[in-house]
Chains A and B, each alone.
Chain A
């Protein structure tokens, strides 16, 4: 374990964490960024047309620009590290990751959200063997094949719109009575000749040999098998907040913060999609990250650290 006590540790390097790091660097704090990846969900986005200053930019490009901005200040970054435990004892906050232990006087949790798993048989076994959580990345591998998209919201529709141009046939497995999502996207999906929408259906299992060759689905009155080579899970997102055990969360497991990004534990702040902030947007996450870093600066000054 490092004996050093940082002013601040930022957990996560998506829009919120990276923006917090820029502000922390400019306030000359002694800090560290610990993250599994860089860019967070923004890096997985397709086209971004609502981040002010860029009329059009792709997710990977924006993530690259964020990264350059962060590293311009020589920021200490621990990549490929996952936060496992966070606890405060006295005035010191301790973070345990899969690789090391760190200590700090303050923390900003900006660990974002991740794809929700379905929790069905075969899901883990066939992950990357035909089952994927990223249509943008892996979609092109399924050209001319039959695939299923699991989910019924905007992210599912987005995946269907991408896949119906590539795949032979797309099944949409939606467990509610109707698809939800933007009307424009919905109409395009409903009008596509190679898309079959199965409302009120849920997935029972994913099966195959070396790779996926089908799924079993059920409706209230029957169970059936669909022969597909690709399964795209778009069942929503869950916050990466489990490691912050003593931090207060809402029913969705989002970290509860006040208007200054303070959690229920003094010195532990949070920003972006992992929090209960209304609306999850790249620009909101970035703004929240800057606000959290300024709150940390005030907190450290007030406590004479």
Chain B
């Protein structure tokens, strides 16, 4: 079964756009959480990472901060 993928992002950050584009290009389904309007998602992200920078990916429990292509690839098994 495919891992569940969550992306914590804001609508304005360039790296968030790149991450989401990368996932789309690889046909990966994901749940997008806009932390600028969803305070509970923002709290969840800060609890998971101890930091406030976006984007953050949660790939089946593996937390990746930033558009770290290599780690995203290996977490997704691409």
Contacts and interface: CB of A to CB of B under 8 A. Distances in A.
Contact of A141 (B18, B36, B65, B69): B36
B41 to A, nearest CB: 11
Contacts of A37: 14-15
B10 A80 contact: no
Given A138-B10, A141-B36, A38 B18 contact: yes
Contacts of A137: 10, 12-16, 54
B14 A39 contact: yes
A123 to B, nearest CB: 15
A141 B51 CA distance: 11
B52 interface: yes
Contacts of A211: 46, 52
Interface string A27-58: 00000000001110001101000000000000
B52 A128 contact: yes
Interface stretch (A59-67, A82-90, A269-277, A295-303): A59-67
B52 A143 contact: no
A241 to B, nearest CB: 23
Contact of B69 (A39, A63, A79, A128): A79
Interface in B1-26: 10-18
B53 to A, nearest CB: 4
B37 interface: yes
B14 A43 contact: yes
Interface string B35-62: 1110000100010001111100000000
B53 A63 contact: no
B68 to A, nearest CB: 8
A130 interface: yes
A140 interface: yes
A271 B16 CA distance: 28
B50 A129 contact: yes
Nearest to B53: A128
Contacts of B11: 140
Given A60-B17, A140-B37, A129 B52 contact: yes
B50 A141 contact: no
Given A141-B42, A143-B36, A59 B52 contact: no
Contacts of A63: 14
Given A128-B53, A129-B52, A137-B10, A64 B35 contact: no
B17 A138 contact: no
A132 interface: yes
Nearest to A39: B14
Interface of A: 37-39, 43-44, 46, 59-60, 63-64, 79-80, 128-130, 132, 134, 136-141, 143, 210-211
Given A130-B52, A134-B13, A138-B13, 8 more contacts: A46-B12, A80-B69, A128-B52, A129-B52, A138-B54, A140-B10, A140-B11, A140-B36
Interface of B: 10-18, 35-37, 42, 46, 50-54, 65, 69
